[in-house]
Amino acid sequence: MGLVMRIDVLTLFPEMFTSVLGSSILKRAADPALHANKEDGPTDPPVSYHVTDIRDFANDKHNKLDKPPYGGGPGMVIQCQPVYDAVTTVESQDDRPATRILMTPQGRTLDQSLVEELASHPRLLIIAGHYEGIDERVIEHLAPMEISVGDYVLSGGELPAMTLIDSVVRLQKGVLGDETSADFESFSPGAQGLLDCPHYTRPPEWMGMKVPDILLSGNHGKIDAWRREQSRIRTQQRRPDLLNESE
Ligand code: SAH
């Protein structure tokens, strides 16, 4: 079990995760059948997901845990106790300490260097808020890392949680094949923190537009140099702030 990253999600809408965690790369990353090694017997997949419904921890007989805010105003606030009980119960299911994360527009903005840092943790426990948010006291008590996906407001932390999960899982060893390695993508260390180069595939000419000759030349040294140059040009045009940072 040692190498498997465990990702817990606490949410009021667990069904939102079914299709995202059950499709494409995120699905394969957790599928034991795809990671079985014929010679050494079955090996564990790189990650395991555990989605928990915070509503299961409601202490109200109608399973209601969002209540009107003290002081008045619009919206509902998620109560402390169910969140606290969900976190402590889920944490006790595994020996490894969990890195607690709360998705909130008030947190540190997610970027590739934070993703890389989180990808090295053995276990993440992600709390998705909803409605107006969560009672401040349980946030203070649990002291999670607070992470935002950008300066805009969504109706819940579920999409931000999925964004974080996808970005972290694709960096786990064995998740992407060599053909789709994450090493040279935008913001990655392999790309020196720059944007990726443009990509082309068949046919060689489409609507009168040709694929750059160099890519058809078979000269890998020149192709690499061209790609690095394109990365630099794109970054200069679209995100000059990244060039200044890497200087
Ligand atoms: N009242 C809060 C916003 C609540 S939005 C405020 O103004 O700060 C409801 C929930 O959606 C939040 O609890 C959070 O979990 C999630 N959410 C909304 N926007 C987000 C963002 N940009 N990044 C991460 N989570 C976000």
SS (H, E, C) the chain: CCCCEEEEEEECCCHHHHHHHCCHHHHHHCCHHHHCECCCECCCCCEEEEEEEHHHHCCCCCCCCEECCCCCCCCCEECHHHHHHHHHHHHCCCCCCCEEEEEEEEEEECCHHHHHHHHCCCEEEEEECECCEECHHHHHHHCCEEEECCCCCCCECHHHHHHHHHHHHCCCCCCCCHHHCHHHCCCCHHHCCCCCCCCCCCCCEECCEECCHHHHCCCHHHHHHHHHHHHHHHHHHHCHHHHHHHC
Specify the residue with its C-alpha closest to ligand 1, atom 23.
Answer: 148
Residue 18 Cα to ligand 1 middle (Å): 21
In whole angstroms, give the CA distance from residue 26 to residue 167: 10
Q: What is the mean pLDDT of residues 177-197?
A: 82
Ligand 1 mean position, distance from CA 207 (Å) = 44
* Structure confidence at residue 182 as a pLDDT band (50, 70, 90): confident
Q: Average pLDDT in the 22-34 region?
A: 93
Backbone torsions φ then ψ of 17, nearest 5 degrees: -85, -20
CATH architecture of 5-169: 3-Layer(aba) Sandwich (3.40)
Percent of the chain at pLDDT > 70 equals 94
The Cα 44–Cα 155 span in angstroms is 35
Asked if pLDDT for residue 1 goes beyond 50, the answer is: no
Enter the CATH code of domain 181-246: 1.10.1270.20
CA distance 111 to 109: 6
CA-closest candidate to residue 5, choices 31, 30, 35: 30
Identify which of 10, 134, 135, 153 to mutate to test ligand 1's pocket (most ligand atoms within 8 A of the CB).
153
* Average pLDDT over every residue of 87-114: 97
Bridge partners (DSSP) of residue 10 are 52, 127
**For position 247, what pLDDT does the model report?**
52
Hey, which of 10, 16, 104 would you mutate to test ligand 1's pocket, going by the most ligand atoms within 8 Å of its Cβ? 104
How distant is the alpha carbon of residue 58 from its chain centre? 27
pLDDT, tens only, 47-100: 999 999 999 999 888 999 999 999 999 999 999 999 999 999 999 999 999 999
Q: Where exactly are the structural domains of the chain?
A: 5-169, 181-246
Express each pLDDT in 210-227 by its tens digit.
Answer: 999 999 999 999 999 999
Residue nearest atom 12 of ligand 1, based on CA coordinates = 129
Long-range contacts of 84-93 (CB under 8 A, 24+ apart): 84/138, 84/141, 84/142, 85/57, 86/10, 86/52, 86/54, 86/56, 86/57, 87/10, 87/125, 87/127, 87/142, 89/52, 89/57, 90/8, 90/10, 90/50, 90/52, 90/125, 91/125, 93/50
pLDDT tens readout for residues 115-170: 999 999 999 999 999 999 999 999 999 999 999 999 999 999 999 999 999 999 99
pTM, full prediction: 0.94
Question: Largest Cα–Cα distance in the chain?
Answer: 69
pLDDT the model gives residue 34:
81
Average pLDDT for 223-232 = 97
Q: How far is the CA of 231 from the centre of ligand 1 (A)?
A: 34
Give the separation between CA 5 and CA 245, rounded to whole angstroms: 31
Given a cut of 80, is residue 208 above it in pLDDT? Answer: yes
Which residues surround ligand 1 with Cβ inside 6 Å? Answer: 103-106, 128-130, 132-133, 148-150, 152-154, 156-157, 160
